[in-house]
Amino acid sequence: MKFFYNPISTYSQKALMALLEKGVSFEPQVVNLMSPEARTAYEAVYPLGKIPLLVDDDGTLLPESSAIIEFIELRFAGQGTRLLPSDPRAAVEARRWDRFADCMLNEPMGKIFFDGRRPADQRDPAGVKDAFATVQKGMAYLDAHLAKNTWLAGEFSLADCSAAPPLLYLKNVAPYESFKNVTAYASRLLERPSYLKVMSEAMPILKAMMGG
Ligand SMILES: N[C@@H](CCC(=O)N[C@@H](CS)C(=O)NCC(=O)O)C(=O)O
C-alpha cells in the first residue's frame, strides 16, 4: 500500500499514527502541496488534492483520515492496537470523539494557523475569532471529559489518533495549559511511540518553517 502524506499535515499525522499503532507496512509518498508542480501531479492521482490518501495494492483510492483508519482496523483486525472497539456503543463513542477532534480542534486550529501566514490584506479576523471561540469551547468540554477518562473513548482508539496532532499545534496557536486535564492527556500521548515518531518527522520541518 502507498501512503500519500506530508509530515506536517495534521490529518496525515492522524492516519500515520494509526498505521504505526497497527504496525501496518506501507510505502511512504511525501507530497508537498506548497509546490504547484507537486500539487498538479498529486491531483492527477486524487483530484481533490487532499492528504492523506492510502492507495491499496490493487490501486483503490482510500482518502479521508477517519476512513483510512477504519479501513486499516478492518483489514488488519488481529494486529497492533485495536483502534475501534467491537462493542457498538463503545465504537460510536470513539467515532464521535473522532468527529469532535476534527471539528472542534483540528479545523479551527488550521484556520488560526493558516490565517496567520496569509498576507495582512487577505486575513479573516472574524473567522479567526470564531475559530478561537470554538477551540475554547471544545477545550472546556474536553477537559471535563478527561477528568474521568484516560483516553477519549475507553482504550486508546481512533479518537486519540485524531486529537493528538491538533493538540501539538494548539500548544503554540492557542495555549491550553490552564486546562489541566487536557495538559495531562497531552503528556500521556507523548508516551506513545507512534506519536513520538510522527513528531520526530514533523518537528524539524516545522522548526525550519518558523525560522528555527
Ligand atoms: N477530511 C480530510 C481533511 C484532509 C485535509 O484537509 N488535509 C489538508 C492537510 S492537513 C490538505 O490536504 N490541504 C490541502 C488543500 O486543502 O488544498 C481528512 O480527514 O483526511
| Cβ count near 62 (within 10 Å) | 18
Cβ pair 162, 66 in contact under 8 A: yes
**String of DSSP letters for 4-22:** EE-TT-HHHHHHHHHHHHH
Which cell is 205 given?
520541518
Q: Which atom of ligand 1 is nearest to the CA of 33?
A: 14
pTM equals 0.97
> What pLDDT score was predicted for residue 161?
98
Cα of 134 vs centre of ligand 1, distance in Å, is 19
Contacts of 31 (CB under 8 A, 6+ apart): 4, 5, 6, 38, 42, 51
Write down the mean pLDDT value for the chain.
97
Q: Among the atoms of ligand 1, which is closest to the Cα of residue 15?
A: 20
Structural domains of the chain, ranges and CATH numbers in brackets: 2-75 (3.40.30.10), 88-209 (1.20.1050.10)
Task: Convert the pLDDT of each residue in 140-185 to its tens digit.
Answer: 999 999 999 999 999 999 999 999 999 999 999 999 999 999 999 9
119-128 per-residue burial string, b: 16 or more CB within 10 A, e: under 16: eeeeeeeeeb
Whole-number pLDDT of residue 134: 98
**Residue pLDDT tens, the chain, 212 long:** 999 999 999 999 999 999 999 999 999 999 999 999 999 999 999 999 999 999 999 999 999 999 999 999 999 999 999 999 999 999 999 999 999 999 999 999 999 999 999 999 999 999 999 999 999 999 999 999 999 999 999 999 999 999 999 999 999 999 999 999 999 999 999 999 999 999 999 999 998 887 76
So what's the pLDDT on residue 212? 61
Q: Which atom of ligand 1 is nearest to the CA of 9?
A: 10
* Count of H-run helices and E-run strands, the chain: 9, 4
Compute, in angstroms, the gap from residue 30 CA to the centroid of ligand 1: 14
Give strand ranges (E) for the chain: 2-5, 27-30, 53-55, 61-63
For ligand 1, mutation pick of 51, 107, 109 (most atoms within 8 Å of CB): 51
The Cα–Cα gap between 40 and 6 comes to 16
- DSSP H or E segment with residue 66: helix 65-75
Question: Which pLDDT value is given to residue 211?
Answer: 73
Structure confidence at residue 209 (pLDDT): 83
